[in-house]
Amino acid sequence: MTTILRAIRAGLLVPLALLLAGAAPAAHATPGHGLPGNWLRLAVTHGDARTGAIRTGAIRAGDVLGGDARAGDARAGDARAGDARSVLLLCDPPRGHAHAALACRQLAAAGGDIGRIPRRAGAMCPMLYAPVTASAYGVWDGRRVDYTHAFSNSCVMGAGTGAVFDLAR
């Protein structure tokens, strides 16, 4: 009897494993995973705050498409800790970003790896500590992109990441 039960159990485990393997990508997909082509959700947070709200989807859809996402009671123009700006960069065709075409070209040249974007030649940034955290996640050439880096100030960020995190209008 135990031999029959083992055979039945083994026969059910294979289809169950295949079923779970097929469902795994959907369970781990990022919000907006149904977007066609190359896309990145980009965020820049000023101060020592982190971008946890961006990752968990706590930002309204209108904010992602070019608005500001403010933490606490920060007002427009303030550079208090936690001020964040986020956009959804779409590259097929380029849109959703103030410099979408340039950012998409730079990302394409770097194979979608923000860390491989060449540092701007001749960039001279002040030695001023005004921390900025840049983060991005999305899909580039079918691969997931997940990038977070803290910079000493926005000039250093711009010199090292090109137009990708230049979210100013």
Q: Is residue 169 part of a domain?
A: no
Please report the pLDDT score of residue 15 as a whole number: 56
* 98 shares a domain with 154: yes
Residue 134 sits in a domain whose CATH number is 3.30.350.10
Please report the pLDDT score of residue 49 as a whole number: 54
Tens-digit pLDDT profile for residues 121-160: 888 999 999 999 999 999 999 999 999 999 999 999 999 9
Residue 13 has pLDDT above 80, yes or no: no
Number of domains in the chain: 2
Tens-digit pLDDT profile for residues 64-112: 334 443 333 333 334 445 678 899 999 999 999 999 999 999 999 999 9
Q: Is residue 130 part of a domain?
A: yes
Q: Is residue 53 part of a domain?
A: yes
Please report the pLDDT score of residue 66 as a whole number: 40
Token pair recorded at residue 162: 């090109």
Q: Is residue 2 part of a domain?
A: yes
* 129 shares a domain with 112: yes
Q: Is residue 21 part of a domain?
A: yes
* pTM to 2 decimal places: 0.63
The residue among 148 and 48 whose pLDDT is bigger is 148
Residue (of 100, 104, 102) closest to 112 by Cα position: 104
Distance CA 164, CA 140 (A): 14
Q: Is residue 108 part of a domain?
A: yes
Please report the pLDDT score of residue 14 as a whole number: 53
* 15 shares a domain with 51: no
Q: Whole domain around residue 67: which residue ranges?
A: 39-161
